[in-house]
Amino acid sequence: MDTLIQNCTIYDGTGALSFTGSVGFDSGKIRVFYNNELPQAGYVVEANGLALVPGFIDAHSHGDLNLVSSYATLSKLSQGITTQVAGQCGVSLFPAGADEPQFARFVSGIAPYPDLPENLSLLSSAQGFNAWLENLQNPITTKCFIGHGTLRLWAMGYANRKPDNGELNRMKDMLRRSVREGALGLSTGQVYAPSCYAENDEILALLRVLHEENGIYANHPRNEADRVVESRAESMRLAQEADVPLCISHMKAAGRQNWGKPREMLRQIDRETENGLRAIIDCYPYTAGCTSLNVSIPPRYFTRGMRGLLDALNNPREREIIREEMSRISNYDNYVYNSGGFSGVYVSSCPIDHRAEGMFITEYAEEAGLQPFDAFCDILIRNNGLGLGIYFHMSEDDVCEILTHPLCVIGTDGLIGKPGENPHPRAFGSTARAYDLLVRKKKLLSPEAMIRKMSGQIADFLGLPGKGRIADGMDADVLLIDTNRFIDAATYQNGSRLIQGIEKIFIGGREISLPKL
Residues 239 and 382 in one domain: no
Q: What pLDDT, on the 0 to 100 scale, is given for residue 170?
A: 98
Measured CA to CA, the distance from residue 104 to residue 94 in angstroms comes to: 12
State pLDDT tens for residues 437-483: 999 999 999 999 999 999 999 999 999 999 999 999 999 999 999 99
Q: Which of 252, 242, 243, 177 is nearest to 220 (CA)?
A: 252
Owning domain of residue 362: 292-325+337-392
State pLDDT tens for residues 478-489: 999 999 999 999
Do the domain assignments include residue 76?
Answer: yes
Q: For the chain, how big is the Rg over CA atoms in Å?
A: 22
In CATH, what number is assigned to the domain containing residue 177? Answer: 3.20.20.140
Residues 426 and 409 in one domain: no
Do the domain assignments include residue 397?
Answer: no
Mean pLDDT on 286-306:
92
Residues 368 and 436 in one domain: no
Residue 333 — φ and ψ, nearest 5°?
-85, 100
Residues 509 and 484 in one domain: yes
Do the domain assignments include residue 331?
Answer: no
Please tell me the total count of domains within the chain: 3
Residues 30 and 55 in one domain: yes
Residue 500 — φ and ψ, nearest 5°?
-110, 160
Element holding 51 (H helix, E strand): strand 51-54
* 313-321: long-range contacts, CB 8 A cutoff, minimum separation 24: 313/377, 313/380, 313/381, 313/385, 314/381, 319/377
Residues 207 and 68 in one domain: yes
Residues 408 and 486 in one domain: no
Residues 386 and 452 in one domain: no
Do the domain assignments include residue 200?
Answer: yes
Residues 262 and 411 in one domain: yes
In CATH, what number is assigned to the domain containing residue 44? Answer: 2.30.40.10
Do the domain assignments include residue 345?
Answer: yes
State pLDDT tens for residues 126-175: 999 999 999 999 999 999 999 999 999 999 999 999 999 999 999 999 99
Do the domain assignments include residue 332?
Answer: no
State pLDDT tens for residues 210-268: 999 999 999 999 999 999 999 999 999 999 999 999 999 999 999 999 999 999 999 99
Residues 42, 27: contact at Cβ < 8 Å?
A: no
Residues 302 and 196 in one domain: no
Residues 226 and 154 in one domain: yes
Residues 372 and 454 in one domain: no
Do the domain assignments include residue 228?
Answer: yes
Do the domain assignments include residue 149?
Answer: yes
Residues 6+ apart with CB under 8 A from 476: 3, 25, 28, 29, 30, 506, 507, 508, 509
pTM of the entire predicted model: 0.94
**Domain end marker among 383, 417, 451:** 417
